[in-house]
Structure 1
Amino acid sequence: MVTRRGFIDGMSAAGAATLFGVTPSASATTRAGAAVADAELTARDAIRATNVGMRASYAALKSELISRLSPVIVVQNDATGGEFTLIHGASPQESVTPVPELFELAKSISHVPQGIFSTIAAYLSDKVPNLPNAGRIDPHDLDMVAFEGPGAAGWISPLQGYAATLTTARRQLGEANLPRELEISCQKILDEALTFIRDSVRSGTFDMASFEKFSGKTYPSIRTNMKYAAAAQISGVEGLMRKWRGTVGDEAWKDLYTVVLSIWTTSELNQASIIVRRCMNPAKVDTHLIDLPTVEVPRDPIFVALDNLARIVQDRVSAEMVFPTDPVVADAFKGKEDLLSVEILHQLGATAGAPAAFPSAAASACPVRRETAQPAVALSPDAVRR
C-alpha cells in the first residue's frame, strides 16, 4: 500500500511542490535538475561499466591464449629476406634468417633508381609529365611529393653524396664473388646511375624525361636481379619450412599458424607469404596464414604477432557461438570488418565493395538515406571477409 508519505518521498521536490499548489523556489528547481542530471550520469556510467567488464574478460582470455598458441611461425620481413621464428609448445623459440645473402645483394643494387628518385622527387615540377603512364599519376599526389619545385638546387649535394656511395660499390663489385650474370646486371645499373647523376649535376637540372631514359636503361638488369633474389628467397624459406616440419611433426604441422608482419605497401602478395603458403596445410592455409600490415617495424614483433593471432582465434570461436543463427554477422565479427559494417552498409544503401557515394553539396546535409523498401544487404561470407 502506497502511503501519503511514500508517495511524496517518491516525487521530485519540484514535482511535489507543483502538485500541492506551491511554487517551487529557484534553488529547489536547481537541486531537482541536478539530481536528474546526476542520475543520468550514474546510469550511463553503469552502462559503460558493462563494456569495461567485457573488455577485461576478453583481455584475460587473450592473455592466457597467447601462451598456448602452437605451433606458430612469425615472419618479420626485412632487407635480408625476413627473420622467421618458430613457437612450438614448451620448446624454446627458434629464430632464423634463412634467406641466402645473394637476396640482399641483388635487391640492394635494384633499389638504386629508387634511391636517386627519392633524392630528386621534391624538386620535380608539379605538372604531370608526358609519360606513358601519365593517366595513372594523381596530380594532387604529385603536388604533395614535388614540394620544393624545379627552381631549387638542394638536390645537388645529397645526389653527389649518393654518387660517392655508388662509386665505391662499383669499384668493389668484382670482389663480391657474385654469379657472373648478376655481376653484369649490377654493373649496368650502377654505371647508368652514375651517368645520370654526373649529367644532372653538370647541367644543374633534370626532368622526368631524362630520369625516364635512365630508369628505362636499368630495367632489364633489375629484372635479372629480381630473378636471383627470388630464387634465393624460395630456396632459403622452403628449406627452413622442411626442417621445421620435421621438428614439429606432420600431425601438428597440419594446424600450423603463420603470421607475416610487413609494412602496408607489401602486405598483399607478400613474398614470404607466397612461399610459406605452399608449405602449409592446403585445407587450413586460408584461415591460418595471417598477413599483418604494420605501420613500422614493431619493437616486439613476436608479441605483436601473437597478440593479434590470439584475437583472431578467439573471435573465430566466439563469433560462431555468440551468433550461431546469423552466419553473415558471425563472419563480420570474426573477420576484418567491424561488426557494425553490415548495418552501416544497409543504412547507406550500399553493397559490399561498392559503398554509397557521399552526397554532393547540393544534396541533403545528412548522408544517410533511409528507404523502408530497401532490403537488408545480403553479403556472402567471402565478401564480408574481404
Structure 2
Amino acid sequence: MATRRGFIGSASGISTAALLGYSASPSAADTPLTDTTSAATASVTQQQAKDSIFAVNAGMRSNYATLKAELVKHLSPVIVVQNDAKGGRFTLVTANGQESVNPVAETFELAKSIAHVPLGCFSVIASYLADKIPNLPNADRIDPHDLLLVAFNDDKSTAWIEPLQAYAATLTTARKNLPAAGLPAALTTSCGNILDAALKFINASVQAKVFDMKSFEDFSASVYPDIRVNMEHAAQAQIKGVQDTMKAWRAKVGEAAWADLYCVVLSQWTTSVLNQNTIIIKDCMNAAKVATHLIDLPGLETPKDPIFTALDNLVRIVQDNIAAEMVFPKDTKVADALKGKEDLLSDEILIQLGGSAATTQSSPTYNTLSEGMCPVRK
C-alpha cells in the first residue's frame, strides 16, 4: 500500500490540493514574507502557534462528530447482534423504530450449560495446579510461563475442596432433575454422562485431597464425545432460530431494503473470528455486500448500551467509506486504508522501522474465506 509520504511526495512539485483534485489559493508558505507578516509572527508565542495548529484537528473532530450524530439517524435497515448465553439478542433497526428478540430455543443454552461442566471444574482447581507440566500428550502446547501465572496458589493447599464440593452440589441437583427437563433423548444421555463423570472426578479428588493435570485431563477427555453431542444440539437450535428470524425480518423490510442491510455483530475478542452468529447470518444477506455490510465488532466486555455502540461504530464506517474516496480520489490503496482497519501511518512506520510496507495478514474471518469453503473442519 502506498504511504502518505510516498503518495503526496509523488506530486513532483504539484501542490497537495491539486493532486487531490482541488484548487486552492496560495498558502502562507507560498507568499513572500513581508515586514507586516514578520511582525505579526513575532508577536505570537511558540505555544500559541502550536495551539492554533492543534485547533485545526479539533475543528475536524468537531465537524466529524456533527456529521456522525446526524448520519446515525438515517441508518436503516440495520441488525445488531449481541452474543450472549442464550444464543444472541437480535435487534432490527429501521426508520420506524427498533424491535428485539432472542430467537434461539432454550435447547441451545441448556446443552451449552452442561458442556461447560469441565470448564467449571477447571476454574476451581486451576490456581492450585502444580506449576510443572507433566507428561501429557499435549505437553508441548502448554506455555510454562502461562501455567505459572494460572497456578498461583500453593499446590499443597486443600483450599480448593470446599468450592469444588459446592459446585458438586449444583451438579448433583442438575443430574437428579435432568430427566424432567424434556430434552431430546440423545442430549439427555450426553448431559447425564458429563455430569456423572464430573461428580466421579470431584469425589475422587476430594477423597484423596489431591488432584493433578493428568487426572483432570483424563476426566475431560472421557466426556469429549458427549460434549460434541451437546454442541450438535446447540448448533441446530441456533441455526434454526437465527434463520427463522432473518427470514421474517426480510419479509418485513422488503427485498429492496434488505439488499442494503447492514449487520453488526458484537462479540468478545475470544469469539470474534468465525463467530457463530456471523457464520449463520452471512447466508441470509445479499451475497454481493456481505464483505462490506457484515461487520464483526469485537470488544472486551458487553458495552453498557450495545445498540448505541453498534450504530456509533457503523456510522463511522459508513461515512469513512465515502470520505475515503473523496479525500483520496487518486490513490485507491490509501483510500482503502481509510475505509478499512489499517492506520494510514502503518506502512510508513513499517518502512522507518526497517520492515516491509506490505500489509500483514490478520486472522481470517468468515467474511474473507473462499466462497463455498466450509469454515469448520471435521
Shorter-chain TM-score range:
0.7 to 0.9
Partner of 2:223, secondary structure, is: helix
Are 1:278 and 2:292 matched, yes or no?
Answer: no
Compared CA separation, residues 294 and 379, structure 1 to 2 (3 A): closer
Describe the shift of the 1:172–1:324 C-alpha distance in structure 2 as closer, same or farther (beyond 3 A). Answer: same
The question of 1:322 aligning with 2:327 is answered yes
Q: Letter of the aligned partner of 1:178 in structure 2? A: L
Runs of 4+ in 1 over 3 A off after TM superposition: 9-12, 378-383
Partner residue, 1:74: 80
The Cα shift of 1:378 comes to 5.0
* More divergent stretch after superposition (146-155 vs 277-286): 146-155
1:224-235 map, 5 Å: 224-235=229-240
| Superposed displacement of residue 10, structure 1 | 5.3
Residue in 2 that maps onto 1:307: 312
- Structure 1 residue 144, shift from structure 2 partner: 0.9
Question: Within 1, Cα distance between the matches of 2:40 and 2:261?
Answer: 64
CA distance 1:152–1:380, change in 2 (3 Å): closer
- Within the candidate set 338, 341, 348, 2:346 is matched to 341
Alpha carbons 1:332, 1:341 under 8 Å: kept? no
- Taking the TM superposition and a 5 Å limit, the aligned residue runs for 1:150-165 are 150-165=155-170
SS of 1:93's equivalent in the other structure is strand
Would the alpha carbon gap of residues 332 and 209 (structure 1) be closer, same or farther in structure 2, given more than 3 Å must change? same
Structure with higher Rg: it is 1
Q: TM-score, normalised by structure 1?
A: 0.82
Gaps of 5+ in 2: 1-34, 369-378
1:258 partnered with 2:263: yes
Which secondary structure state, in structure 1, belongs to the residue aligned with residue 224 of structure 2? Answer: helix
Structure 1 residue 350, shift from structure 2 partner = 1.9
Alignment of 1:40 with 2:50, yes or no, is no
Query: What's the secondary structure of 1:67's corresponding residue?
Result: helix
RMSD: 2.3
The 1:135–1:162 alpha-carbon spacing in structure 2 relative to 1, beyond 3 Å, is same
1:188 equivalenced with 2:208 (yes/no): no
- How far the C-alpha of 1:196 sits from its partner, in A, is 0.4
TM-score by length of 2: 0.83
1:11-90 equivalent positions in 2, closer than 5 A: 39-89=45-95
Deviation sequence 1:142-164 (CA, Å, 0-9, x none) = 11111113122221111011000
1:249 and 1:188 map into 2 onto residues whose CA distance is: 47
How far does residue 128 in structure 1 lie from its aligned partner after superposition? 2.3
CA distance in 2, matches of 1:381, 1:223: 31
Q: Which amino acid counterpart does residue 352 of structure 2 have in structure 1?
A: Q
202 and 160 in structure 1: CA distance in 2 versus 1, 3 angstrom threshold: same
Instruction: Quote the Cα distance in structure 1 between the aligned partners of 2:64 and 2:137.
Output: 53
SS at match of 2:97: coil
Q: Which residue of 2 aligns with 1:31?
A: none
Q: In 2, distance between residues paired with 1:277 and 1:101?
A: 23
CA deviation after TM superposition for structure 1 residue 130, in Å = 2.1
**Separation in 2, partners of 1:208, 1:55:** 53
Q: Distance in 1 between matches of 2:346 and 2:150?
A: 34
Aligned-pair CA distance for 1:381: 11
1:382 positional shift? 10
State how far apart, in whole Å, the 2-side matches of 1:132 and 1:257 are: 45
- Tell me what 1:291 maps to: 296
Q: Which amino acid aligns with 1:59?
A: A
- Shift of the alpha carbon at 1:338? 1.5
Where 2:265 maps in the other structure, the secondary structure is strand
- Give the C-alpha shift of residue 329 in structure 1: 1.5
The alpha-carbon distance between structure 1 residues 193 and 344, as it changes in their structure 2 partners (threshold 3 A), is same
CA drift at 1:129: 2.8
Contact 1:98 1:236 in 2 (8 A): yes
Task: Assess, with a 3 A threshold, how the Cα gap between structure 1 residues 184 and 380 changes in structure 2: closer, same or farther.
Answer: closer
Q: In structure 2, what is the Cα distance between the partners aligned to 1:140 and 1:274?
A: 34
Letter in 1 for 2:90: F
Q: Which amino acid aligns with 1:196?
A: F
Task: Specify the alignment match of 2:29 in structure 1.
Answer: none
Pair 1:121-2:126 in alignment: yes
Question: In 2 relative to 1, CA 11–88 (structure 1 residues): closer, same or farther, beyond 3 Å?
Answer: closer
Query: d(CA) in 2 for partners of 1:259 and 1:149?
Result: 45
Q: Which of the numbers 219, 222, 243 marks the counterpart of 2:224?
A: 219
Describe the shift of the 1:129–1:333 C-alpha distance in structure 2 as closer, same or farther (beyond 3 A). Answer: farther
Equivalents in 1 of 2:97, 2:358: separation in Å?
A: 47
CA deviations over 1:274-312 (Å, ceiling 9, x no partner) = 000010011000110000011111111000000000011
Q: 1:168 to 1:52 in 2, by over 3 A?
A: same
**Distance across 2 between alignment mates of 1:130 and 1:241:** 49
Query: Of the candidates 260, 273, 285, which is equivalent to residue 268 of structure 1?
Result: 273
Corresponding residue for residue 135 of structure 1? 140
Task: Give the 3-state SS of the residue equivalent to 2:74 in structure 1.
Answer: coil
**Deviation of 1:380 (Å):** 9.7
SS in 1 for 2:227: helix
Report the count of equivalent residues: 330
Q: Counterpart of 1:259 in 2: which secondary structure?
A: strand
